Structure 1
């Protein structure tokens, strides 16, 4: 159990640039029924953290505006307290166990940029022995890739275009797709080709190609059976899909028009402990750019905003 009643956490005080991030001392949260208190060993900086901090999600109506907002989705840490809240008083977790989890509630006072976080038990999985820094990169990006592939519902042998394939979601998606027997065309820069080939990509479509659909259809006549659009290219990616194929985007905003009978989906992440447990044992390849202490969260946001990173920045409380 914690030896003090307070902890350090990073919040966004209002909305704006990285300067609104503030390191504060707040009471350690108390787990409610069916929840766990987790001592955070590592948490990941994701693009959604930046748009939460900027106020873009509040402006879009995806969260209630707040005077201060908790930041952070991913966590790898250790169970510090358990509140069963069930008839038989049992939860599949015990004090001291190493776990990973996902916070998928946006408008909350505290996120995972903190020394402790409370999560529903159903959003948590046991860490089977992964380094916590690597484990922290799995929940949001791994589940996004997994749930997107489920929405596409492609069959082994089908072809799949993945845009932004060198990104955190795209990289996991390439690995997971090829394990399902899909043939992957990865849209990325030449500098990322070696990584994507090793991950299982059969074709590489240059990121700077002026006509994505034409380039893809040169490689795959008739177009791909599906597209997982992590780069938010919209109709450019839809045009690369064959008639009555499938398309999934992981970005917000209006969904593309379902031309030619193409099934169009927007993938909205949801926490899933059992699925996360499967990802934790899947041997996926985490990519980490650097680790930073919690009090350098604003610097981490600036580096992500600048772009060009190949891997996640991980905060270590």
Structure 2
């Protein structure tokens, strides 16, 4: 089968489309015939060598939407079922940017009934990250949440999830994104470069660090999106960073919210798997609203 991999680190040109052996599911696993797979910033990090692994093959892709093709008998899935899943890992020799991928059965959920595979593929990594970050913050209905980088994929899902829970959301983003963010549920939109009012909690998807920490009220909570890189606590503010974890049951809840129209999926552009280098180059340009999706 064909898969996008890197064996040497660098820019978009480091991505190779290789012929590799089709993976077989082990105990508690399923093999998915990939219909669509999202390109995320973490893939650019793997490609550039930000996570190490020189001299080894690294697969690309964490999100997948597709069809169960083979399953361990105890996995609980049947061939032909449409699913979405998170294929977690910085050191996988194969990722979801491939024609087939094997994932743990517990990482998969039934695909949304109302979305095509291209849009469904944008849910697993980004929506799970947003949901698990809100868990870390433990922000409740009636409290206030500031989301930096709110127009991005994780930020956008966080705005929607928080607003759905009755949380007052302030979005910190480009002024050009105000209409988008209010449509996602933000009560307030603060343009970049303007200091927002203190909030009970801050989700810092823009990785501003200490600057965003200063916008948390005393005794509040801060969550970043780079594991191990949260700023030190101060003023009684709890600080943490989310490290997304596969969770099929939680993903199923997010699928339900997508089907109910609570979560809006955003696809910027699609690329054939063979054009993965072009997709990486587009991601590197920046300014993407929504996700880039690869189609095998």
Does residue 299 (structure 1) correspond to residue 278 (structure 2)? The answer is: yes
* Paired position in structure 2 for 1:116: 100
Q: How far apart, in 2, do the equivalents of 1:246 and 1:169 lie?
A: 18
Structural mapping, 1:80-159, within 5 Å: 80-84=69-73, 90-129=74-113, 130-159=115-144
Given candidates 15, 20, 23, the residue that maps to 1:26 is: 20
Equivalent-residue separation in structure 1 for 2:229 and 2:5 (angstroms): 29
State the shift of 1:19 in Å. 1.2
What is the CA-CA distance between 1:44 and the residue it aligns to? 0.4
SS of 1:187's equivalent in the other structure is strand
Q: Which ranges in structure 2 are unaligned for 5 or more consecutive residues?
A: none
CA distance in 1, matches of 2:55, 2:81: 34
Does the CA contact (< 8 Å) of 2:228 and 2:241 recur in 1? no
1:76 aligns with 2:65: yes
After TM superposition, give the deviation of residue 252 of structure 1 in Å.
4.6
- What SS does the aligned partner of 1:201 have? coil
Match of 1:61 in 2: none
| Secondary structure at the counterpart of residue 56 of structure 1 | coil
Partner of 1:87: none
Shift of 1:92: 2.5
**In structure 1, what is the equivalent of residue 290 of structure 2?**
311
TM (normalized to structure 2)?
Answer: 0.96
Q: For the residues of structure 2 that align with 1:303 and 1:272, how far apart are their CA atoms? A: 30
Number of equivalenced pairs: 291
Ranges in structure 1 where 5+ consecutive residues have no aligned partner: 1-6, 59-63, 85-89, 218-222
Does the 8 Å CA contact 2:112/2:120 hold for their aligned counterparts? no
Runs ≥4 residues deviating over 3 A: none
Q: C-alpha offsets along residues 100-158 of structure 1, whole Å, 9 cap, x if unaligned?
A: 00111221211111000000001111113221001000000000000000000012100
Tell me the residue number matched to 1:172.
157
Aligned mates of 1:21, 1:249 — CA distance in 2: 28
Matching of residues 122-271 of structure 1 within 5 Å: 122-129=106-113, 130-209=115-194, 212=195, 216-217=196-197, 223-252=198-227, 254-271=229-246
- Determine if contact 2:9/2:54 at 8 Å carries over to the other structure: no
Q: CA deviation at 1:208?
A: 3.0
Q: Which of the two has higher C-alpha Rg?
A: 1
**TM-superposed deviation, 1:185:** 0.4
